Structure 1
Amino acid sequence: MFNEDRSVTRGRKFDQVLEGARRVFLRDGYEGASVDDIAREASVSKATLYSYFPDKKLMFTVVFRDELERAKIDRDALLRMELPIDEVLRFTGHMIASHTVSEFGSRILRLAIAEAQRFPELAVEYYEIGPAALQRTLERQIRSWQKDGMISTEVVDLNMAADSFVQLCAVRVRDPMMLLGREHVDDATIRRAVDNAVRVFLRAYGTQAALRLID
């Protein structure tokens, strides 16, 4: 994989340039962002900008990877929770839905989708660091619940079960924002979506012991 650190010069104004580039790329996308706009946003000359980044593509790559680091959710938090399955699912679901519709989460998702063809390796990184990593963590938790008698032993594809829960939490709140242009999803809507996701998930995969927690 391409390693941008071999081509990027880091100096006194590096963070200033990176922040200016971040604001422009998140606002205008790769195609709509000009070097002049980035230099203006960062309050530096074009010569200073080019002293750190030799081209716009490299600059976008560094910005996007920096955003991926900022976007990481504390996935392991759900593995440390010693609470009933329905409460852990509600906590996890609220975390997923809230991040999905946050200004930051929605912008990085839009950027990943818009630039997937131009930067396929970054789209893969986004998927692996975000959705795939979350699914794997949730899969481990579901396996633990299965051993505890809360998830049916008939459930074989635990990764699919994990993905089902993630999608149940995210789609209901994500699509209105992404497709209908809504700028805000209130907490009540998020809670309704998550409560529904928990009930659907446990009715599909849970044992009678788990179902008693929501009935």
Structure 2
Amino acid sequence: MQLQPQLMRKGRKLDQVISGAREVFFRDGFESASMEDIARSAGVSKATLYSYFPDKAALFMEVASTAVADHTAKMVETVDIDAPVRDVLLCTGKSMTAFMLSDLGRRVFRICVAESDRFPDLGRRFYSAGPAFIRGQLIEYLTCAVSRGELAIEDIELAADQFPELCKADMFPRLVFGIDDVFSEKEIDRVVAGAVETFMARYGT
């Protein structure tokens, strides 16, 4: 799995701006956050803020993309793609699920959903930076595993879509509908292990 760079802008104060924006967005929500508050939190002028980002939507997308890129980088570092398929899927599933259920992942998801009607491009760009990127990595890995005879999959794209959904079983609906905000490591391990076994029962050789 090869991580593609997410940030294209450069500048001495970029990290400062993103850190300040992240604090304000997650504290106040997208709609209530103001560029003035973000500039104050980041310790920069509004002129500096606008020199990096033309509007609030672009800034939030950078915050979300940076969070996803950081998590994906850590996931890529921890996954040994030469390990047995079960181990690769188990490690990948736990990493994906941990981010989805984290405070950061939950906040990013809820803001994107809440603002998708007013800013449809926001959701599309987040999907491209996060879920679509991980989907592409799964397709690449599954294709290699099939070529090595470790898996038997006819529709690799469908299988790449199915695995993350299996890892969400029960937990994601409870998260989205506000039933639970915290999930134990034992519960996450149980769901992901079940997802891997179900996946291997269908596609294992």
TM bucket (normalised to shorter chain) is 0.7 to 0.9
1:70 alignment partner in structure 2: 67
Instruction: Measure how far apart 1:79 and its partner are.
Output: 6.9
Instruction: Measure how far apart 1:36 and its partner are.
Output: 6.0
CA distance in 2, matches of 1:39, 1:65: 15
CA distance in 2, matches of 1:51, 1:133: 30
Q: How do residues 108-127 of structure 1 correspond to structure 2 at under 5 angstroms?
A: 108-127=108-127
2:178 alignment partner in structure 1: 180
- Which residue type is aligned with residue 165 of structure 1? F
CA distance in 2, matches of 1:171, 1:28: 30
Instruction: Measure how far apart 1:78 and its partner are.
Output: 7.3
- Which residue type is aligned with residue 142 of structure 1? L
1:168 alignment partner in structure 2: 166
The question of whether the paired residues in 1 share the 8 Å contact of 2:17 and 2:42 is answered with yes
Instruction: Measure how far apart 1:51 and its partner are.
Output: 5.7
1:206 alignment partner in structure 2: 204
The question of whether the paired residues in 2 share the 8 Å contact of 1:53 and 1:59 is answered with no
2:3 alignment partner in structure 1: none
CA distance in 2, matches of 1:162, 1:105: 20
Structure 1 residue runs of 5 or longer lacking an equivalent are 208-215
- Which residue type is aligned with residue 148 of structure 2? D
- Which residue type is aligned with residue 164 of structure 2? V
CA distance in 1, matches of 2:119, 2:54: 9
The question of whether the paired residues in 2 share the 8 Å contact of 1:177 and 1:185 is answered with no
Q: How do residues 6-25 of structure 1 correspond to structure 2 at under 5 angstroms?
A: 16=16, 18-25=18-25
Is the deviation greater in 196-205 or in 79-88? 79-88
Structure 2 residue runs of 5 or longer lacking an equivalent are 1-8
Aligned-residue Cα RMSD (Å) equals 2.9
Q: How do residues 40-55 of structure 1 correspond to structure 2 at under 5 angstroms?
A: 41-42=41-42, 48-49=45-46, 52-53=49-50
CA distance in 2, matches of 1:43, 1:127: 30
Deviation string 1:41-98 (CA, Å, 9 cap, x unpaired) is 4567xxx3356339x9813422321331221213645774321111111111111111
CA distance in 1, matches of 2:79, 2:40: 45
Name the TM-score, length of structure 1 as normaliser. Answer: 0.75
Deviation string 1:132-152 (CA, Å, 9 cap, x unpaired) is 111121112112221222222
SS in 2 for 1:53: helix
2:89 alignment partner in structure 1: 89
- Which residue type is aligned with residue 186 of structure 2? A
2:191 alignment partner in structure 1: 193
> Which protein is bigger by CA-based radius of gyration?
1
